[in-house]
Structure 1
Amino acid sequence: MSLQKWTRSEDHLPKNLRGLRLPLIGSPLFIISVPDLVIAQCKAGIVGSFPALNARESEGEPPLLDAWLQQITEALDRHNQDNPDRPAAPFAVNQIVHRSNSRLERDLEICAKWKVPIWITSLGARVDVNEAAHSCGGVVLHDVINNTFAQKAISKGADGLVAVAAGAGGHAGAQSPFALIREIRSWFDGPLALSGAIASGEALLAARALGADFGYAGSPFIATHEANAQEKYKQMIVDSSAEDIVYSSLFTGVWGNYLKSSIVQAGMDPNNLPSADPTSMNFAQGSSKPKAWKEIWGSGQGIGDVNAVTSVEELVDRIDREYRAAGHRLAAEFPI
């Protein structure tokens, strides 16, 4: 594993987001992101994350989220003690700020207790959620699909943004990253990540060139040994490309990207899917997707760069090599 750090200025970033090996955030993946994946991502030098709703205990049992945060915190502390020259990156927890998420208040308290360093908020910008994060020294990144939502999130106290552009896996926007990042950067100079087909070092460098501080990648990590995904799902990621992605609102009520083959497996025609009403979203059971569609699998358009199921470390190493090589190639075009 390379120990070399990227060298651009980080003065505008909160302390929790500085010093990464690579400017990359592993996005929170429903069901798939579990402590093993998060810990591996952080040890590899990028931000690892998971949705709080992934930690679901049986009735009467203590909160699994509490146990997961203890596991992650202790594992990363041990890594840092054993590897002072190669500390782990911080981790993040995704909070679904939607009125149907009945666990939100409890989960906010647990995250504050464990001093979660990075909070990723989705589907609703709320002052009290941001205040809960700030109470324990956390940094809030709110995901948005357009500039209007971005302005609203910052006005309510978010520290930074995740711009979810066209091509992102799962719930995704429809705007080009070239437009979305530039519109946000016209007024906002704080932490900004870009989501949308970030599966290679070249894509990560392009995100940085646009003005994003970080890439935000999910789909490539589905095809890793540490991911809590079915082997068939992982192989479908490897075997598919951008033209195998379908953009639909049917499955959750919000537009998102899904693997065409998984839709066919469910007995539906991916070319003739009806739309759904956004009011059908309901996170009371942890996901807005009905159980009947639990094997409709999300994916972004960047999976053409995923050619094998690997470890997280191998994946991050590949993106790191590609990122630096692409940077050197472009730098040669601009001699001092």
Structure 2
Amino acid sequence: MSSTDTLKSQLSLPVICAPMFLVSTPRLVIECCKNGVVGSFPALNIRPQKKLDEWLTEVSTSLEQYKQDNPNAKVAPFAVNQVVHPSNSRLMADHALIKKHKVPFVITSQGNPSDIVKDVHSWGGIVFHDVIKTQHAKKAIEAGVDGIIVVAAGAGGHGGTLNPFALIREIRAFWDGPLALAGAINDGQGIRAAEVLGADYVYMGTRFIATQEAQVPNEYKAMLIKSQIEDIIYSDYFTGVHANYLKDSLIQAGIDISALTGKDKVDLDLGNTNSWKDIWSAGHGVGGIQDVPSVAELVASLIKEYRIACDTPAFSL
């Protein structure tokens, strides 16, 4: 897999299911890939660290078996997210296992991916990097990444604040390579709109939390269904990096949202998962989530919506 064309040939839709902290598991990743959508998980989801080896084995062997049993199916590659910020004490240990398994697709975020890029390229893998600003994209390109993930306003988790119309056009002025857009994309119409804007792929996270395969509390899924944009809060209280969360989950966890203050420094080590189990992330697209389908049902719905959007006539000039 060395080009966007090769990647696209493995997909049923130009969609990457975003890596979500304490949400993405092998079950969700495998089902996404089996349905032609890139499935991904953060390396930091696995505790203890050595269990990452088991996760990578499970995903790899399951997908290889599925390919053998279904030779004509479009089976997407899976991806692993690596937080490359210096505060991530697990970075190199996790990378050693990623290298052992020759993971085909690595998503880097929160730092300089240069060393990771060189190594991933050595086994034929590709690297996409999360950015929230134009200057971040330029630095990632200098580092040799294969693709840029534009994390615009409204994305769940560690999201940016910039308008996707402006940000994509700025980046496209100097980058003609693979580009994915993240931020409140929930349906086939959003996928098509992102393509028209200049994206090759979309990065969808929140919508996949409300699926049967997402192994999160049912209360989390119910909160997604009942929430609207105004129920999302943007704060750097937890990690020092701004992110979008479900306001009601913070209140239920006993946090006074009127008194949230920023963290003194960035801390992305995320060592104690118990501290996070009741803090639920979501993006601005929650208002469009009204059910909890299987991944297969969701992808089928996205394909149908996407086809309708592609067939919608443009303005007649």
Return the TM-score normalized by structure 2.
0.94
Deviation at 1:267, TM superposition (A): 3.0
Alignment equivalent of 1:325, drawn from 293, 305, 308: 308
Aligned counterpart, 1:54: 45
The C-alpha deviation readout for 1:176-214, integer Å capped at 9, x for no partner, is 000111111111011100000011111111111110000
How far, CA to CA, are the matches of 2:164 and 2:272 in structure 1?
A: 29
Aligned counterpart, 1:22: 13
Structure 2 residue 129 is matched with structure 1 residue 142: yes
Listed as ranges, the matches of 1:226-265 within 5 Å are: 226-265=213-252
How far, CA to CA, are the matches of 1:321 and 1:146 in structure 2?
A: 33
How far, CA to CA, are the matches of 2:69 and 2:62 in structure 1?
A: 11
Aligned counterpart, 2:73: 86
How far, CA to CA, are the matches of 2:110 and 2:202 in structure 1?
A: 20
Alignment equivalent of 2:299, drawn from 316, 319, 328: 316
Alignment equivalent of 2:190, drawn from 199, 203, 224: 203
The C-alpha deviation readout for 1:24-49, integer Å capped at 9, x for no partner, is 00000111101000000001111000
Once structures 1 and 2 are overlaid, which stretch shifts more, 170-179 or 246-255? 246-255
Q: Is contact 1:100-1:284 (8 Å) kept?
A: no
Alignment equivalent of 1:161, drawn from 148, 151, 155: 148
How far, CA to CA, are the matches of 2:138 and 2:67 in structure 1?
A: 37
Aligned counterpart, 2:284: 301
Q: Secondary structure at the match of 1:175?
A: coil
Instruction: List alignment gaps of at least 5 residues for structure 1.
Output: 1-10
Alignment equivalent of 1:113, drawn from 84, 95, 100: 100
Listed as ranges, the matches of 1:147-226 within 5 Å are: 147-226=134-213
Aligned counterpart, 1:36: 27
Q: Secondary structure at the match of 2:80?
A: strand
Aligned counterpart, 1:283: 269
Aligned counterpart, 1:127: 114
**2:41 corresponds to which letter in structure 1?**
F
Deviation at 1:19, TM superposition (A): 3.3
**2:163 corresponds to which letter in structure 1?**
S
How far, CA to CA, are the matches of 2:89 and 2:239 in structure 1?
A: 18
Q: Secondary structure at the match of 2:313?
A: helix
How far, CA to CA, are the matches of 1:286 and 1:129 in structure 2?
A: 25
Aligned counterpart, 1:5: none
The C-alpha deviation readout for 1:41-72, integer Å capped at 9, x for no partner, is 001111000001112227xxxx2111111111
Alignment equivalent of 2:82, drawn from 89, 92, 95: 95
Deviation at 1:14, TM superposition (A): 5.5
Q: Is contact 1:33-1:51 (8 Å) kept?
A: yes
Q: Is contact 1:102-1:284 (8 Å) kept?
A: no
Deviation at 1:241, TM superposition (A): 1.7
**2:113 corresponds to which letter in structure 1?**
R
Return the TM-score normalized by structure 1.
0.89
Aligned counterpart, 1:7: none
Deviation at 1:17, TM superposition (A): 4.5
Q: Is contact 1:248-1:257 (8 Å) kept?
A: yes
Deviation at 1:293, TM superposition (A): 5.0
Change (3 A) 1:14 1:103: farther
How far, CA to CA, are the matches of 1:268 and 1:72 in structure 2?
A: 36
**2:267 corresponds to which letter in structure 1?**
M
Q: Pairwise CA RMSD of aligned residues?
A: 1.9
